[in-house]
Amino acid sequence: MRNYIFSIKKRVSMDYISSPELGFLKNISGRVGRKTKLVFRFLDKALLDHSINQTYGSLSSNLTFIKSIASGIIVPKSYIWPVTKDNYLLPSTSIVTEAHNAGLEIYASDFANDRIIPYNYSYDPLAEYLNFVNDGGFSVDGVLSEHPITASEAIGCFTKLNSNKTDHGEPLVISHNGASGDYPDCTDLAYHSAIDNGADIIDCPVQVTSDGVLMCMSSGNLLDTTNVQTTTYSSLVSVVPKIQPQPGIFTFNLTWADMNSNALKPKISSPASGYSLVRNPRYTNQGKFLKLSDFLAIAMDKDLSGVMIIIENAAFLINSLGIDIVDSVTTALSAAGFNNHPTKEVLIQSKDSAVLVKLKQKKTKSKLVYTLPSGIGDASNSSLKDIKKFAEAVVVDSKSVFTLSSDFIIRQNSLVQDLQSAGLALYAEVFRNEFVAQPLDFFGDETVEINYYVQSFNLSGIITDFPKTVRRYKKNTCTVLGNDMPNYMQPPQAGSLAQFLQTFKTQPPSLPPMPTLSSSSVEEPPLPTVASRSVSDGSSSGGTRTPGTPSDAHTATMSAGMLLVMVFTALLI
């Protein structure tokens, strides 16, 4: 290798020569150009540098000796930020300061967007870079990365952010079950974290307990959101076909007192757990469930644009439980002071057009938002006209924006253009930090995906599990530069990665166009009208019953599924 270096030095300009062998660098020192920097690369601390017969760990304590040979060092990330066995950061070491005091430049290595990084970073690779170049106490002189676009973004656009009061301009940062990327869905921890991390709007998917208390929970099926299968309530398993074909244990199977028993705990969602990407394990079962009234009180007290209330299964709740969820929610909003608040906006979202039609007929002051079906590529004119009759905005699944094949973008669908041409405000969901959650065209970097959506579409809001990531993006210093915006902040061309593969005579499988949204998919019969039972917004305790026993209103519904209890319990074991 030494002879090779000497043979090319007259033909090639070498800015850096790095090696994990200090003896090799010592041998060529003084025999390469003065402009060439020699950089010693550290490996695992327990390994031996055979060229000088010392471990890398011992060499890290003798940087002045290294300075006599090299002008810089490359160290693995863990030399600077050690990591615990359960993948959380320990306090930083002093090696950056020691290297600089010794006159050495120091570079951090082993950065890649598609690896599991410490949970402190919430699967956000850009946040990891900032911890090395924008820490406040120290900054490395460079990084070695498999994804230079993310390193360039971090250093060029996110190191000098404005920390002033949050700007509530569009696109709005809207939480998805609170900051559910870091804490269990819809818990006090998730909502307070979302607010602290810069959410403009926090969301509450409304569920109902058996004693009529309205609460926030991402799913009415407690198997999705709690540890209920390990409690005595596991005997309440049933099948409710109007909600889902699989067995479940539902909020309307338990009282509010049951929900707050010591046995029942929330469970963090990990949508990418199939890839061994779990979220914040230390907080898997932490946090408290919130009544709707508690949620609204938090929102009223904080610097927020407003709230998004999600209503689902309204017809079932009327027919099976005698609960008019629409009237109950509007009553709760009024009681909390949202009806006439001068600055707090209320968005009511539903995938059921009948819910929004009823609210429209009630002349609600809330902004009505229709959740589009997933898996559509465009919308017919008739469907758009129908939506405009009852909604002024839509929520679109980000997976409907593109046609994907093997996670490559094949083409951008016309859906967004169709919706915006019809004058509908657009909210896109769900944005997640995990690198498997984005198309490969975005390089495993959620900031690249957000940047594409913001620069390509006139979004009114971004719905995200990680409000901190979107809020930080809105503060970046590069997208305001116009023609001087750096190339790495230009949105990638949709489908360019698949086209690039064609140069190697390979490409992902071709796919037909995605289905078109039709009027028949939008239109629904009106909600039934019944004499509603008493419902509490959560500001009072509501009725009571013996814990673990179903209320009369849905005993028949549960009985149909009780035959599955033994089989289902066996599967859980």
Q: Which of 69-78, 127-136, 420-429, 547-556 has the lowest mean pLDDT?
A: 547-556
Query: Model confidence over 259-287: pLDDT tens digits?
Result: 999 999 999 999 999 999 999 999 999 99
Q: Which of 392-396, 442-446, 479-483, 556-560 has the lowest mean pLDDT?
A: 556-560
pLDDT of residue 29: 87
DSSP state letter for 488 = G
Average pLDDT of 524-529? 94
Nearest Cα neighbor of 453 from 484, 474, 483 is 474
Task: Report the CATH architecture of 172-522.
Answer: Alpha-Beta Barrel (3.20)
Q: Distance of CA 376 to CAs 68, 219, 399, 412, Å?
A: 64, 23, 9, 12
> Would you state the torsion angle of the CA atoms of residues 296, 300, 303, 305, taken in this order, to the nearest 10 degrees?
70
Q: Strand 48-49 vs strand 54-55: parallel, antiparallel, or unpaired?
A: antiparallel
CATH topology of domain 2-157: TIM Barrel (3.20.20)
pLDDT for 10 beyond 90: no
Are residues 104 and 72 in contact, defined by beta-carbon separation less than 8 angstroms?
yes
Distance CA 314, CA 324 (A): 7
The residue to which tokens 């593969």 are assigned: 501
Categorize the per-residue pLDDT at 135 as very low, low, confident or very high, splitting at 50, 70 and 90: low
pLDDT for 547 beyond 50: no
Tokens for 462, please give them.
């971004």
pLDDT of residue 3: 66
**Average pLDDT score over the chain:** 91
pLDDT for 532 beyond 90: no
Average pLDDT of 278-298? 98
Average pLDDT of 77-102? 98
Tell me the HSE value of 123 on the side-chain side, using a 13 A CA sphere: 29
The residue to which tokens 């041409």 are assigned: 421
Average pLDDT of 112-136? 94
Tokens for 562, please give them.
């009780």
Percent of the chain topping pLDDT 70: 90
Categorize the per-residue pLDDT at 505 as very low, low, confident or very high, splitting at 50, 70 and 90: confident
Are residues 315 and 354 in contact, defined by beta-carbon separation less than 8 angstroms?
yes
pLDDT of residue 137: 80
Are residues 88 and 118 in contact, defined by beta-carbon separation less than 8 angstroms?
yes
Q: Strand 105-111 vs strand 48-49: parallel, antiparallel, or unpaired?
A: unpaired
pLDDT of residue 87: 98
pLDDT of residue 156: 96
pLDDT of residue 396: 98
Higher pLDDT, residue 35 or 245: 245
pLDDT for 564 beyond 50: no
The structural domains of the chain, with segments of one domain joined by +, span: 2-157, 172-522
The reported pTM is 0.91
Nearest Cα neighbor of 318 from 252, 235, 416, 415 is 252
pLDDT of residue 424: 98
pLDDT of residue 444: 98
pLDDT for 428 beyond 60: yes
pLDDT for 41 beyond 70: yes
User: Is it true that 2-157 and 172-522 share their CATH fold?
Assistant: yes
Higher pLDDT, residue 510 or 164: 510
Helix axes of 325-335 and 353-361: crossing angle, nearest 10 degrees: 50
pLDDT for 394 beyond 80: yes
pLDDT for 520 beyond 50: yes
User: What's the one-letter identity of residue 35?
Assistant: K
Instruction: Give me the helices (H) in 336-397, please.
Output: 353-361, 381-390
Nearest Cα neighbor of 287 from 365, 185, 437, 430 is 185
Categorize the per-residue pLDDT at 544 as very low, low, confident or very high, splitting at 50, 70 and 90: very low
Average pLDDT of 556-568? 38
